[in-house]
Amino acid sequence: MAEETIFAKIIRKEIPADIVYEDDRALAFRDISPQAPVHVLVIPKEPIVSVGEATEDQVGVLGHLMLVAQKVARAEGVGDAFRVVANSGAGAGQSVFHLHLHVLGGRPLDWPPG
Ligand code: AMP
């Protein structure tokens, strides 16, 4: 079971966020500490902890998040070159334990990432 997170409060509109997209299953808002000119977080409204803890019955919403990432990237003007990142687990840099896709673009994106 997912712990209550700051993203749950954003979903419920209890704390403000710069929301750029919303539908019945997903929300997208600007990262408070942007690492690129475009840095948007795409999250499911249901409390999935991480990619690592997602389950088969969540496959629909997981796919949906990818297409929301695509929509956001296009709307932000970076649809031809963007990166989607999901840190899964504290050891990989996950700090908020509500699954989120980072959508990054608007600058050269090096590979491999840090
Ligand atoms: P991660 O480290 O992969 O779990 O990513 C969490 C991201 O959430 C970080 O990039 C933070 O800057 C971002 N973040 C944390 N709190 C907020 C908030 N209230 N509004 C927007 N972004 C946030």
- Residue boundaries of the structural domains of the chain: 6-105
Question: For residue 95, what are the CA distances in angstroms to 52, 81, 89?
Answer: 14, 26, 8
Residues of the chain below pLDDT 70: 1-3
User: Is-contact 42 100, C-beta < 8 A?
Assistant: yes
What are the tens digits of pLDDT across the range 16-36? 999 999 999 999 999 999 999
Residues in contact with ligand 1 by the CB-under-6-Å rule are 6, 17, 29, 31-33, 41, 87, 93-96
To which residue do tokens 């840095």 refer?
A: 39
pLDDT at site 101: 99
pLDDT at site 114: 74
Query: Hey, whose CA ends up nearest to atom 12 of ligand 1?
Result: 33
For ligand 1, what atom is nearest to the CA of residue 96?
Answer: 4
Phi, then psi, of 24 in degrees rounded to 5: -70, -20
CATH number of 6-105: 3.30.428.10
pLDDT at site 33: 98
User: Is-contact 86 99, C-beta < 8 A?
Assistant: yes
**Burial 54-64, CB ≥16 within 10 A → b, else e:** beeeeeebbeb
